[in-house]
Structure 1
Amino acid sequence: MTGSEIQQRETADAVPTRRLQASLALDTLLGSLGLYSVIPVLGLLLAARSDGSGTAVVGAGLFCYTASAGLSATLVNRWLPRLDYRRGMVGAVLLSAVGFGLLPYTSADWALCGLLVLAGFGVSLHFLLSRVLVAEVLSDSIGRNRVFSLLQIAVNAAATIGPFVANLLYSSSNPQVLMAMVALCYTAAGVVLLPGLPRGRSPLATSGNWPVSRQILLRTLRDPAMLRVVLTGTLGTFVYAQFYSAFALYVGREFSSAFLRSALIAGPAVLIVLLQPVMTAVSTRLLKGGTTPVDILGYANIFFGVSMVTLGLALSPVVGAVLAVLVFSVAEMAFGPMISTAFAGLPIESSLEAFNLRQVCWTTGEALGALMGGSVFLTLYDRGDGRVYWEVLGIVTLLVTGLLRWSARRAAART
């Protein structure tokens, strides 16, 4: 570690954390409002702007954005330590503002996809740097989890408002109005960041040029505690992805009421806004009592599994879906902040490298989960066997979670 890096770490407590939290919360709220105002109509916008390829550019564009938002920041890993947080995070939201804001002004498929890659890169870079900054400024799991919970509330508050903004402002003949609002949200997010971000502070460098070095990967495979965090987090992300793939398809096929469909999909976001502080208090009490972050992730995965099993029971579709949403929401309230807390606490010197590992695990689980939810579930549902999918997925989730818990207790008994 260089002298400047040591000085950065030693002065971590000097960062005004209350001001930082306020800036991050407002920034996350505004940026997420922009994102969730465009995501519901992004496919429609791409189809309307396309120069003739139709549905092809819709799929390609959505893929470009999703892949870029998930992993693109890790591709510039070697340059991030040279970039201080102020320039990096403010620059990131401005890149998203430019990428989304220019979409209505081009019809070339390559340009549409390129702008979405740019917007996704901004989202990816901002997410990575904001979480790394929290991990470096706050040294304990309780403090980190409180901030990550606050950011989750901001994201979900925006997620409840964004679709209404999209429906109000979007017009296929004049998408400039909505996209100007989206660009303005991201620009405002950059402005509110400035008062809270430390000056001249950069992420600590990773142990190699790769986002996650070979040394860290080998250590993860050899260290049962680190491996449990990776496996538990990836499993939870895989099941979490079912809500926005298989469950969304199920709701769309099963219920004719537009209001009921919207209520079920928006349910977790609304409940998180209302009840996340309660879950944060519960998690804080558990952490103070000696429960580890990976244990709480395991509890969340149990709730994820139960929500899947609930959908497979012989209940009326409405009752089963409502109960599943309630249980799923509890799981998401615990899982969302805690996965960042768990990875921040890994014995990896660079928080940047720890969160690169988190991004790889999250993207892998989410991509595979969406693939399963969008293909296997739909195939079984069309055959009349949709319940089998939910039952098998729920039972496997509970069994794997139980196996990981058993291995943790066995390892603890040996020490």
Structure 2
Amino acid sequence: MAADATTARSGSRGTIAAPVVVDFLLSGLGFYCLVPVLPTIIGILTRHPDPLLTGTALFAFTFAYKGGSLFCANTLQRLPVRVTTAGGLVVAGAGFLLLHGMTHPVGILASLVLAGLGVSANNISARVLVALTQAESTARNTAFAHIQVAINVAAAVGPLAANLVLGDHPRVLLPVIAGIFVLTAVLMFALVPRGLRPSDSATRRPLGLRVVADMVRDPRVRTVSLLTLVGSVMYGQFFSAFAIHVTHVTDSPAVRGAYYTVNAVVIVAGQVVVTRLTNRALGRGHAPWAVIRVGIAVFGLSFLLLALPGASIALTFLAVGVFATAEMVFSPMVSTAYAQLGGDRPMVEVFNFRQVSATLGESLGGFAGGALFTTLFQHRLGWAYWAGAALLGLATTAAFHRREAAARQ
């Protein structure tokens, strides 16, 4: 099996990239048909919108799709990548189909957790495939940027389609999403090279939940993880607080969907240019975590725009464009930073570091956006929420700027 791994690593980039791009393109289409309208779907299922249930459901789903792989790390390490990518997609599809028939809060939460677990297993398996087959940081950053483009092509279509379908046929959306995930599973099982396992290049079994202790002890892992945590809290606002924010900006389903479509189109159009700039920064000796810091600062600027009085459609579109710029820097570089921490660590473990930080960050961000923002907005304090979120990002950026300056002296 070690020979197979070596062959795969030395194989053509296109051979490996093709199934990964297909995976994130199609599963991303299903995913982004759901997340922008998930708060609305929860209200439809229960018939009694509840800010606490909405926040809890967003937290549970985010925790599951970001951190579910922590609970099956050894299984993901042993099984072929072909099996774990396809299997995760099938589990996700089953969860979304079950959600379609749920009305009780417990059933809704359980279905979302099951679906999120499948998404998590698939996502980490696809990223491990890239890390196993690309040796250089710049090559990995480029590959992860290609993933980012594929995700955002899907994200350009998904929210608009979801808002239109939800307006006319709300009960149809979840079965369609489930079907997309199952179709993607069939394609992935056919396209991913057989025999390649994460364990082929590992010297030991990956840590599961114990990665948390290792994240605290290792200063390099701790730095990347803290930045990922803060950036993920900020990224998590886009499908929680922002999704609620736009319902108060416009009543048009088409315009609401267009905010997410514009975000995706900006990323698809600009990712190549941004990747060249970030690769140039890496080539000049900047650490990946230092580039992540730039993305966090730009997230903060987008939130400052949302905090301005007189929220208009045009101003919100401008904030979306700034947010997209931050995402182009932040998302690929996070994966690049963690992949660089490999060494003797199993790749599943390395990306579980990422999952822990992103899970905690996006889950907290989703809960805050679903519960705290709603409460503050009801008291006409929505601007204070966005100002506080911006302050979090800018303060973190300033703290790590001093650390980078000290490290380069």
> What does residue range 3-402 of structure 1 map to in structure 2 within 5 Å?
7=3, 10-39=6-35, 64-104=60-100, 113-167=109-163, 175=171, 178-194=173-189, 196-204=191-199, 209-213=207-211, 216-220=214-218, 223=219, 225-256=220-251, 258-313=253-308, 317-318=312-313, 320-347=315-342, 349-402=345-398
The one-letter code of the counterpart of 1:343 is: Y
Contact map agreement 1:211 1:353 (CA 8 A) in 2: no
Distance 1:291 1:246, change over 3 A: same
Secondary structure in 2 aligned to 1:329?
Answer: helix
Q: Distance in 1 between matches of 2:382 and 2:41?
A: 32
Q: What stretches of structure 2 of length at least 5 have no aligned partner?
A: none
Contact map agreement 1:145 1:337 (CA 8 A) in 2: yes
Contact map agreement 1:302 1:398 (CA 8 A) in 2: yes
Count the aligned residue pairs: 404
Contact map agreement 1:306 1:394 (CA 8 A) in 2: yes
- C-alpha displacement of 1:194: 3.8
Indicate the structure (1 or 2) with the bigger Cα radius of gyration: 1
Query: What is residue 401 of structure 2 aligned with on the other side?
Result: 405
Q: Distance in 2 between matches of 1:21 and 1:278?
A: 20
Contact map agreement 2:58 2:370 (CA 8 A) in 1: no
Distance 1:283 1:13, change over 3 A: same
Contact map agreement 1:33 1:158 (CA 8 A) in 2: yes
Contact map agreement 1:20 1:196 (CA 8 A) in 2: no
Q: What stretches of structure 1 of length at least 5 have no aligned partner?
A: none
Secondary structure in 2 aligned to 1:291?
Answer: coil
TM-score (norm 2): 0.85
Q: Distance in 1 between matches of 2:242 and 2:221?
A: 31
- C-alpha displacement of 1:216: 2.4
Please say which of residues 40-49 and 350-359 is displaced more in the overlay: 40-49
Q: Distance in 2 between matches of 1:360 and 1:76?
A: 13
Contact map agreement 1:305 1:394 (CA 8 A) in 2: yes
Secondary structure in 1 aligned to 2:196?
Answer: coil
- C-alpha displacement of 1:59: 6.9
Q: Distance in 1 between matches of 2:206 and 2:368?
A: 34
Contact map agreement 1:34 1:182 (CA 8 A) in 2: yes
Q: How large is the Cα RMSD of the aligned pairs?
A: 3.3
What is the CA deviation profile of residues 229-284 of structure 1, one whole-angstrom value per residue up to 9, with x for unaligned ones? 11211111112223333333333224455554443344312211222222222222
TM-score (norm 1): 0.84
Distance 1:236 1:114, change over 3 A: closer
- C-alpha displacement of 1:325: 1.9
Distance 1:297 1:285, change over 3 A: same
Q: Distance in 1 between matches of 2:211 and 2:59?
A: 27
Secondary structure in 2 aligned to 1:242?
Answer: helix
What is the CA deviation profile of residues 164-184 of structure 1, one whole-angstrom value per residue up to 9, with x for unaligned ones? 443555699884x54443333
What is the CA deviation profile of residues 95-137 of structure 1, one whole-angstrom value per residue up to 9, with x for unaligned ones? 2233323544677776555443332221110011111121121
